[in-house]
Amino acid sequence: MSKKNKKARIQLILLRTLAYAFILLLCAMCLFFFVMLILMSSRSNSQLQGAFSISWGGHFLQNLRNAWTDASINIPRGMINSLIVALSSALLTTYFSALTAYAIHVYDFKLKNAIFTFIMAIMMIPSQVSAVGFIQLAYKFGLTNKLWLLIVPSIAAPVVFFYMKQYLESVLPMEMVEAARIDGTSEFRIFNDIVLPIMKPAVAVQMIFSFVGSWNNYFMPSLLLTKAEYKTVPIMIAQLRSADYSKFDMGKVFMFILLAILPVMVVYSFLSKSIIKGVTSGSVKG
């Protein structure tokens, strides 16, 4: 091996080492706060009010029991409510956004460009602006304390639609759709049996984002859900933080936050295999 090749090989090894070291540093920074949350959830209220420490507190199971059986809030019911809203929103949002993107991408009709422009214009409007009128209508017609009221509006998701359309433009050959039509396949069957499996990576990515966004949503549920049996996890966390100081237990609060994160981690673990493929495939046109 010549000196020039040897020097180039050493430089390549150094660059790879630096790249791996940087990636490990980023991973450590991301995991640090999650590890700290686990450690904080194992400490009692008195320990948390003392000096900062990274040692195991020894009160993990006690905090879990106190949080799960808290008399002021029903954590199991809150997690079930959040799961119903988040899962339903994620499924309906991704499916109907993909269906709309398929229609705009495949069909040629007179108002196609106008509809696409209208959807993009809606994407520019902050959700808080439209929420004012929506909340007024909900109270006017007595539709508060309904979980479906948080699910149905989430179906209209311009951002998800735009991502799905861009993804379809990069991966869906029109010849495949035309061949299915020649065989006499119905349009819904073409979408469900042919197009949707092709879009699996994009659907997985958007399901993760939609689930996390709906799970962490505090604004709309706090205004529409007033009864205890319908409240979601973010509302209950806010209630724990605003509890009476004499009854305030930081260990229980940290434990509840940890419990609130776990469903997100589970959903991500199931769909994470497709997230990188979905992001890269949707951004590169073939």
**Could you tell me the pLDDT band of residue 285, with boundaries at 50, 70 and 90?**
very low
Picking from 17, 32, 60, the residue at the C-terminal end of a domain is 60
Whether residue 268 is found in the same domain as residue 148: yes
Domain edge (last residue) among 60, 78, 106:
60
Which of 99-103, 127-131, 147-151, 191-195 shows the lowest mean pLDDT across its residues?
127-131
Confidence of residue 130 (pLDDT cuts 50, 70, 90): confident
Query: What's residue 252's pLDDT?
Result: 83
187 and 261 housed in the same domain: yes
How far apart (Å, rounded) are the C-alpha atoms in residues 163 and 233?
Answer: 28
Q: Is the pLDDT of residue 207 over 80?
A: yes
pLDDT higher than threshold 60 for residue 225: yes
Same domain, yes or no, for 29 and 121?
no
- CA-closest candidate to residue 249, choices 64, 52, 82, 39: 64
Same domain, 209 and 252: yes
What is the residue range of 28's domain?
A: 3-60
In one-letter notation, the amino acid at residue 229 is E
Q: Is the dihedral of CA 173, 174, 177, 180 positive or negative?
A: negative
Q: Are residues 222 and 93 in the same domain?
A: yes
Contact 43, 251 (CB under 8 A): yes
How many CB atoms lie under 10 A from the CB of residue 117?
A: 11
Q: Are residues 33 and 93 in the same domain?
A: no
| CB 225, CB 144: distance < 8 Å | yes
| Same domain flag for 156 and 52 | no
For the segment 20-47, the average pLDDT, to the nearest whole number, is 88
What pLDDT is recorded for position 122? 85
Residues 173, 49 share a domain = no
CATH of the domain at 198: 1.10.3720.10
Average pLDDT over residues 65-78: 84
Q: Which of 38, 60, 82 is the last residue of a domain?
A: 60
* Average pLDDT, integer, range 65-73: 82
Does residue 75 share a domain with residue 53? no
How many domains in the chain?
A: 2
Q: Measured between alpha carbons, how far is 109 from 104 in angstroms, rounded to an integer?
A: 9
Residues 272 and 216 in one domain: yes
More confident residue, 268 or 16: 16
pLDDT digits (tens, 9 = 90+) for 100-126: 999 898 888 888 888 888 988 888 887
Average pLDDT over residues 63-86: 87
* Of 33-37, 49-53, 97-101, 166-170, the least confident: 49-53
- Give the pLDDT band (50/70/90) at residue 280: low
Mean pLDDT of 6-21: 86
**179 shares a domain with 116:** yes
pTM recorded for the entire structure = 0.80
Q: Mean pLDDT in the chain?
A: 84
Question: Is the pLDDT at 83 greater than 80, yes or no?
Answer: yes
Phi, psi of 184 (to 5 degrees): 90, 15
The pLDDT value given to residue 283: 45
Same domain, yes or no: 274 and 133: yes
The tens digit of pLDDT for each residue in 235-263 reads 888 877 665 555 677 888 888 888 888 88
Neighbour-count burial for 15-39, b at 16+ CB within 10 Å, e otherwise: eeeeeeeeeeeeeeeeeeeeeeeeb
Alpha helix ranges (H) inside the chain: 3-41, 45-49, 60-68, 75-106, 112-123, 127-140, 148-151, 158-171, 174-182, 187-189, 196-198, 200-215, 219-224, 233-241, 250-283
Instruction: Give me the mean pLDDT over the 95-104 stretch.
Output: 91
For 56, phi then psi, to 5°, come to -70, 130
